Amino acid sequence: MSSSTEDSSTRWSRTKAKVLLAGGIGLGVGAIASVATWNDSGFLFAGSGGGSANLEGSLDGEWFTTHELSGQAAELDFVATQMEPGETVYAPFSVRLDGETAQDAKVDAGSGLNVARSDGDFIPDLSFAVFEGLSTCDAASAVESDPIGRGETLAQGNVPLKEHIDLTAGEGDAPGEPVDLCFAITAGSGIEHVWGEQAEASWRIQALSNDS
């Protein structure tokens, strides 16, 4: 194998060492038609010489699928009839490694979560928190738990986590154990001055194999 071929292969493997889940959220203030979408950029390789790993997502914790193209995006439902200052809305989302994955992985605490894109006049007035392992994704469960990640606004930037999110590979052909997340978005006091406007943002979660 030529030197140029080896260099190209190394760069490709390094690029593919991360699975990116980009979640976009659009919030309409008032009769809120809130939507969040995410798409999966491809495959997470299990390290040098290892097999490939695929990250799957689920809206209900039961039906998992991959989302490799933005046109195949899933929708998170933030249930609300009106978004008023101080109100918080919640939406669950679960991730797991698929049945072809033999290598455990993690979402790194230092760089695994960030807001990749945001747009809208009241982005500074929307904060968010991410919880792991709640019995139900709602205010009753969230009030008794500490979030693993928090953003003071939906502005672009990294969101440090308190600890890694572990992704465990399944036995044989079985998929990995699901990790249940809960996204909570809170409206700030400035919301009342932009009635009827919308904001959009994209979350990105990066999952790395444990030997990366």
Cβ 201 vs Cβ 123: under 8 Å: yes
Give the closest residue to 183 by CA, choosing from 81, 29, 20, 38: 38
In a domain, residue 11? The reply is no
Cβ 172 vs Cβ 90: under 8 Å: no
Provide the pLDDT confidence category of residue 76 given band limits of 50, 70 and 90.
low
Q: What's the domain range around 131?
A: 18-209
Q: What is the pLDDT of residues 127-164, one digit of tens each?
A: 999 999 999 999 999 999 999 999 998 888 888 999 99
In a domain, residue 4? The reply is no
Q: pTM for the whole thing?
A: 0.72
Q: For the chain, how many structural domains are there in total?
A: 1
In a domain, residue 95? The reply is yes
Residue 79 is predicted with a pLDDT of 55
- Burial of 160-181, coded b for 16+ CB within 10 Å and e otherwise, reads ebeebbebebbeeeebbebbbb
In a domain, residue 1? The reply is no
Residue 13 is predicted with a pLDDT of 32
Proportion of the chain in helix, strand, coil states, percent, rounded to 5: 15, 40, 45
In a domain, residue 7? The reply is no
Average pLDDT score over residue span 70-98: 68
CA distance 202 to 93: 15
In a domain, residue 13? The reply is no
